[in-house]
Structure 1
Amino acid sequence: MSSGGSWPDSAAIRAAAEVAGRTAAEADASGRVSVETVEALAAAGFPGCFVPERWGGAGATCETVLRAVAEVGTGCASAAWIASLLAYNGRFGAYLPGDGQEEVWAKGPHTRLVSSMVASGVEARPVPGGWAVSGSWLYVSGVEFADWALISSALPREGDRAVRVFALPREVFSYKSTWATVGMHATGSHTLTANEAFVPEYRSFVWDDMRQGILAGPATRSQAAPLFSVNGLTFAAPILGAARGALELAGQHLAVPAGGPRAAARESNLFSFARAAAEIDAAELLLSRVADTADQGRRDNGLAERSHRDATVAVEILVGAVDRLFRVTGTRGQASSHRMQRIWRDVHAAASHAALQFEPAALGYTRRLLSA
């Protein structure tokens, strides 16, 4: 495994994973991860993973973040989703001008950043010294406990230099409780709202620079990787962890001697378990290559598109493995009190994220390959 400077603290990661797993059922029922879990994730250092080192960042790698997020996801996919976004939103913040970075991380690298590029009815009006920003932004995971938010002026499009990203402090935005889903319920991905929030010029950057990995200041290779080299990792890592959790549960189920109708299906279930285990390992290998490509800072033609493709394929494999394991646990796994049904719901909900859809990733990869 790659080294990420002084990060991760393995004991702190294990502690965060334990808290997340212990409180997962309550979080799912309430629609929000517990305060204890959020504090454990912060104590484990997730918010500071990709923060520039001059502001106290950990100098983490995508590989170490992948593994740490997956460890949390074994017990709670929603908590892992929050952990991953806390980490990668710090990477987004590194695209701000120096004065903006200094303001965002004035209190240290533990600052909790959330983000949304899904703009709805947004107006960013130029005013002296910056912009006045109003509107709504959808699906802002973790907005309830955010210190700062990074939001876009419009829905971003490749090559569009007009779309900007703005950094808003907590005192100038609020949120509406709009997240009520079958899976990933505890992510609290509500709607952020702002009304005439002033954003100075130094707290904004062009979204397309982030897409291309163009930073004005010093950066690690991971920070300067093009967006689609790493974007799939952000959302795939929690699914990898959840799949591992499903494998663990299915193993416990199969370890109990079967009797009656269950006995007839036992051999078939053993085959299913072995196949799912191999599928999870295969998906992890794909995601590790995506992480390694970003950590090496490689910008060869088509590598960002390949990484995007690989992340979506890995997620498709993981969803299939979880489906297989869900069937292994039978009606027991479908009980509302059983952890397996929550994993199954969370994995399917997480896999529906726009960044994890195979078709656009496949088109981007193939078109780039054929144009080379």
Structure 2
Amino acid sequence: MMPVSAGLQEGQRSGPPPAERSGGPLAEEDVLQAARAAGRGAVAADRDRRLAPEVVAALREAGFARHFVPRRWGGREGGFAELVAATALVGGQCPSAAWCGMLWAAHGRYAARLPEEAQRELWGGGPDTLIAAALVPPSGEARPVPGGWLLDGRWDCVSGVDFCDWVLLAAPVPDAPARVLALPRSDVVVHDTWRSTGLRGTGSNRVEVCAVFVPDRRSCALGEVLGAVVEPGASSARQASAQLAGGLMFCAPALGAARLALRSWNRWARTASAGRPAALGDTTLQRALARSAAEIDAVALLLARAAVGADAEPTAPGVEAVNRRDAAVAAEVLVEAVERLFRMGGAHARDDTSEVQRAWRDVHTVAAHGALRLDAAACAYAAWGDREDGADRP
């Protein structure tokens, strides 16, 4: 099982990992193997706008897809804290791979809200099913027909869809709440549309569905997927709302990207070349290093604390509002930390082969995600108010 503290200082780990829970591993060594594979494929992923098959296989082998899957299907029912730590560790090598692995885990948690028959279709053959999703905002249209729904429409930014086995799509329904519908990958058409400046390797392409019938057993209301539920015997993470730890998980690849930028920048700044002294002899660069390194470490501690709180109190009042606040602020701090390194990295940081430049693009792209926008998080936090379990929550 991945320790919460793993990756706070890359390469520094103390003692063996705690005992694994039943249902399959998210073991530290497996995550490290996935991180190494992701690092080897990072340049190609950025160039090709998709992950290499061997990177996908390593993420699957590490246990990302099964992380939140119910134990009855062979899944792990793991927690948020270990997923955040594992995602950041992979992100320190390739943020795009971390993003896809994190989402494949998260989508298993959503799929566990589908009816039992649908879950059997997804996981009856094993818990490592890769699931892509486009849930917010709903798109297309689902029309009721005998026995199910007729689905039409287009959905953008479906990360990792090229490698998935199933897709979850949210669609409006005439005169009724929006629905989530599960479709096999063969029922959707993927359009090569993902040309973002950052997270280029995620292959977050558009999908299209043309008059596909989806049976009732593979559908449920969107609110049932995104909201908190009380399910006796289920893990805390399976009962939590989508927003309780969603921002934390989205921020984790950016934490990894910031570590990647810091590591690469530090290597450059300490290297003398062509008879010139190392750049880090400049006190201005020393201050930049100290401040950015401290900010990145502070974000790691903030995310770890928030994720532990999400695992401990998945339905406690105020925890969701505090966690949304912390994730949004963490994203802004990471942008500032990496922006400082980028500005002060000279021509090296701006070269199209630079890890600093790639990480800079990735951090900005992550921070632009709607789940990490401070305005919405601040509004939720202000609405919750100054309660006794707020800012002083351990």
Deviation at 1:311, TM superposition (A): 0.6
Partner of 2:13: none
Aligned mates of 1:84, 1:229 — CA distance in 2? 15
1:330 deviation in Å? 1.6
**Corresponding residue for 2:165?**
147
- Distance in 2, Cα, partners of 1:109 & 1:369: 40
What SS is found at the alignment partner of 1:162? strand
Question: What is the match of residue 56 of structure 1?
Answer: 74
Per-residue Cα deviation, 1:44-95 (whole angstroms, up to 9, x for no partner): 1110000011001122211111111111101111111001001111111111
After superposition, where does 1:36-75 map in structure 2 within 5 Å? 36-75=54-93
Name the TM-score, length of structure 1 as normaliser: 0.93
Does structure 1 residue 192 correspond to structure 2 residue 204? no
Q: Identify the match of residue 244 of structure 2 among 223, 229, 240.
A: 229
- 2: CA distance, partners of 1:37 / 1:263: 35
Distance 1:223 1:354, change over 3 A: same
Alignment of 1:252-291 (within 5 A): 252-257=267-272, 266-291=282-307
Give the alignment's TM-score, normalised by structure 2: 0.88
* Structure with the largest fraction of helix: 1
The Cα of 1:329 is off from its aligned counterpart by: 2.2
Residue 131 of structure 1 aligns to a residue whose secondary structure is: strand
Please list the CA deviations of residues 23-61 of structure 1 after superposition, one character each: whole Å capped at 9, or x if unmatched: 111111111111111111111111000001100112221
Q: Identity rate of aligned residues, in percent?
A: 39
Aligned pair partner of 1:98 in 101, 110, 116: 116
Q: Report what 1:85 is aligned to.
A: 103
Structure 1 residues 178, 217: closer, same or farther in 2, change over 3 A?
farther
Report how many aligned residue pairs link the two structures.
368
4+ runs deviating over 3 angstroms: 1-4, 118-121, 215-218, 257-265
Secondary structure of the corresponding residue to residue 182 of structure 2: strand
2:355 corresponding residue in structure 1: 339
Residue 34 of structure 1, aligned match among 22, 34, 52: 52
- Return 160-169 or 221-230, whichever deviates more: 160-169
Aligned CA distance change for structure 1 residues 7 and 120 (closer, same or farther; 3 Å): closer
Alpha-carbon contact 1:120-1:135 (below 8 Å) kept: no
Letter in 2 for 1:65: L
Secondary structure of the 1:48 match is: coil
Q: What's the offset of the Cα at 1:297?
A: 3.3
C-alpha distance in structure 2 between counterparts of 1:70 and 1:121, whole Å: 30
Gap regions ≥5 residues in structure 2: 5-17, 389-394
What one-letter code is carried by the residue in structure 2 that aligns with 1:169?
P
| SS of structure 2 residue aligned to 1:54 | helix
Structure 2 residue 142 is matched with structure 1 residue 124: yes
In the alignment, what sits opposite 2:39? 21
Residue 10 of structure 1, CA deviation: 1.7
- Are residue 250 (structure 1) and residue 268 (structure 2) matched? no
Distance 2:291 2:361 in 1: 21
CA distance in 1 between partners of 2:37 and 2:119 (Å): 31
Paired residues of 1:161 and 1:208 also in contact (CA < 8 A): no
Report SS of the residue matched to 1:205: strand
Whether the 8 Å contact between 1:117 and 1:154 is mirrored in structure 2 is no
Q: Deviations over 1:164-211 (max 9, x none)?
A: 111111121121111111111111111111112221222112221233
**CA distance in structure 2 between the partners assigned to 1:119 and 1:250 by the alignment:** 38
Match of 1:351 in 2: 367
SS state at 2:150 partner: strand
Could you say which residue in structure 1 is the equivalent of 2:223?
208
Q: Is the 8 A contact 1:161 1:207 kept in 2?
A: no
For residues 51 and 90 of structure 1, the distance between their equivalents in structure 2, rounded to whole angstroms, comes to 6
Aligned-partner SS, 1:222? helix
Partner residue, 2:313:
297
Q: CA RMSD in A?
A: 2.2
Of residues 307-316 and 324-333 in structure 1, the stretch that sits farther from structure 2 once superposed is: 324-333
Residue type at the aligned position of 1:270: Q
| Corresponding residue for residue 368 of structure 1 | 384
Map of 2:189 onto structure 1: 174
